[in-house]
Amino acid sequence: MAEPREIDATEITRVVRDLCIEINYKVPEEMVRLVKRARELEESPLGRQVLDLLIRNQELAAEGEYPYCQDTGYTVIFLDLGQDVHVTGTDLYDAVNEGVRQGYGDGYLRGSIVRDPLFDRRNTGDNTPAFIHTRIVPGDQVRIQVDAKGAGSENMGKHAMLKPADGLEGAKEFVLQAVADSGPNACPPGIIGVGIGGNFEMSAVIAKRALMRKVGQPNPDPRIAELEAELYEKCNALGLGPEALGGTQTVLAVHVETMPTHIASLPVAVNIECHAHRTGSRVI
Amino acid sequence: MSVEVLSDGRKRISAPLSDDDVRALEIGDVVLVKGTVYAARDAAHKRMVEMLDRGEELPFDIRGQIVYYVGPTPERPGNVTGSAGPTTASRMDKWTPRLLELGLKGIMGKGGRGPAIRAELQKHTAVYMAALGGGGALSALTVRGQEVIAFEDLQTEAIRRMELEDFPVWVVNDCLGRDFYAETIRPWRKNDLLPEALHVPTDEWAGENGGG
């Protein structure tokens, strides 16, 4: 049996800290490309004006002075932990949260998390705790993806336990209605993450993971890629347009993930992402 | 008048606003806001209404004023503000009528207001305007000053007096009870591509809770 590779927890803290700062100022290059493309495709003059403003906002934020959006989000962390890794020094999740604390402090990012949803809505001040999704994977590396997820779009998420008889058409309709319902609150044009299958919580988790995919990259399953293309066209037929002020560019991409489900179930989750898509990853 | 019509059709406004100023603003107008506004969002609204319930005065004289739904990022040393884009307006619906009763004239946020708040805007001759959602960096450039005036413990949700220089917004709900979203979206909808049952519920958007 191979010796486990030791990774000091401070290394994980440093990577999380750096990613928190980077992503809040500089959106992924696919977002820069896709917003420019939407600007070329947009038919509404007002929509084009809005997209021009969003392009300027991207450029200004990338200079590193002002975060892209004042809602610097829930910090969602995806950890792919190699099973041959031994994390030393401190508790892994403490190390991740310390990275968030440092990143949000050093990066002049807003703390947006309250201690308790009902009984104590005091701001923790440093955006902790992060919401952490861990997978144990083969190998001796750790992949860390950080996502700063704005609440405007997150609050527009929808979930349903459809009937198997609702089928593909039912799932499509549910997704389209969720996007129609989201309106200006979700800050379009954004990305639509869809999770179909699994059970109650897994459909939501894979919808979120769908958003973590490189933006605009189709699902490798050609049937799902076709569904993504159809939903993209139909979402843009809704007419919401940029900031829902009317237009042809409501979404930049639709990402769908599926997984096996129960004979009695057809769970569908829609996790909406705004134009402020802030994510990045590193491998240690 | 605190409303100035510019040569390109945009309108520049400054608080305090009179009823006549508000009547000069129509849905679809592009408005540049100059001068003082008060930043307040969820937690500050809750506290303000609790103060009113106890018979106390608000931390600022709200008559004729503009309230901006924003929670900025912390400012870097040497800067007057951090990013400062709008948050979803409809989350404030529960508290908004009380402030309109006291003479609040202008509101800035993200998204629209539903029929109930539109009726309140009409009743009290007030206007709701939407700023660029998610454009926090750009918004920061038009903030000339800010000072926390109440509820400092609420951090980003404290009440701030902000000084703006031509902060751009769109009039979404005017004092005639109209809604800009309903009108501006209609021409772009392609029904032939959409399921029959599908509807774009512009009125209900304002009932959704949003964020930012």
Which tens digits make up the pLDDT trace of B1-53?
Answer: 689 999 999 999 999 999 999 999 999 999 999 999 999 999 999 999 999 99
Q: What is the pLDDT of residue B208?
A: 66
Q: What is the pLDDT of residues A53-63, one digit of tens each?
A: 999 999 999 99
Check CB contact under 8 Å for B189 and A238.
Answer: yes
Beta strands, E only, chain A: 5-8, 74-82, 85-88, 131-137, 142-149, 158-162, 190-198, 251-261, 266-273, 278-283
Residue A84's contacts (CB-CB under 8 Å, 6 or more residues apart) are A2, A4, A5, A138, A139, A140
Q: What residue ranges of chain A are covered by domains with CATH 3.30.360?
A: 5-24+67-149
Half-sphere exposure of A99 (CA within 13 A, CB side): 30
Give the CATH number of domain A5-24+67-149. 3.30.360
Judged against a pLDDT cut of 80, whether residue A30 lies above it is answered with yes
| CA-based nearest distance A281→chain B, Å | 22
Residue of chain A minimizing CA distance to B202? A183
- Give the number of other CB atoms < 10 A from CB of residue A217: 12
Collapse the DSSP code of B44 into the 3-class scheme (helix H, G, I; strand E, B; otherwise coil) and give the result.
helix
For chain B, the distance separating the N- and C-terminal CA atoms, rounded to the nearest angstrom, is 33
Check CB contact under 8 Å for B208 and A44.
Answer: no
Check CB contact under 8 Å for A110 and B76.
Answer: no
Q: What is the pLDDT of residue A3?
A: 86
Q: For residue A70, which residues of chain B lie inside 8 Å, CB to CB? A: 70-73, 82-85, 136, 139, 156, 212
Quote the CA–CA distance of B20 and B209 in Å, as a whole number: 32
> Which of B185, B204, B209 to mutate to probe the A interface, most A CBs <10 Å?
B185
Check CB contact under 8 Å for A69 and B132.
Answer: no
Tell me the longest C-alpha to C-alpha distance in chain B: 56
Query: What share of chain A in percent tops pLDDT 90?
Result: 99
Judged against a pLDDT cut of 70, whether residue A14 lies above it is answered with yes
Residue A119's contacts (CB-CB under 8 Å, 6 or more residues apart) are none
| CA-based nearest distance A261→chain B, Å | 26
Q: Considering its fold, how many domains does chain B have in total?
A: 1
pTM of the prediction? 0.94
Quote the CA–CA distance of B37 and B16 in Å, as a whole number: 9
Q: What is the pLDDT of residue B182?
A: 87
Q: What is the pLDDT of residues A60-95, one digit of tens each?
A: 999 999 999 999 999 999 999 999 999 999 999 999
Check CB contact under 8 Å for B187 and A246.
Answer: yes
Q: For residue A72, which residues of chain B lie inside 8 Å, CB to CB? A: 73
The answer to whether position B96 is within a domain reads yes
* CATH code of the domain containing B81: 3.20.130.10
> Which of B70, B200, B209 to mutate to probe the A interface, most A CBs <10 Å?
B200
Q: In which domain, by residue range, is B151 found? A: 3-205
The answer to whether position B212 is within a domain reads no
Give chain B's residues under pLDDT 50.
none
Report the catalytic residues of B: 45
Check CB contact under 8 Å for A150 and B90.
Answer: no
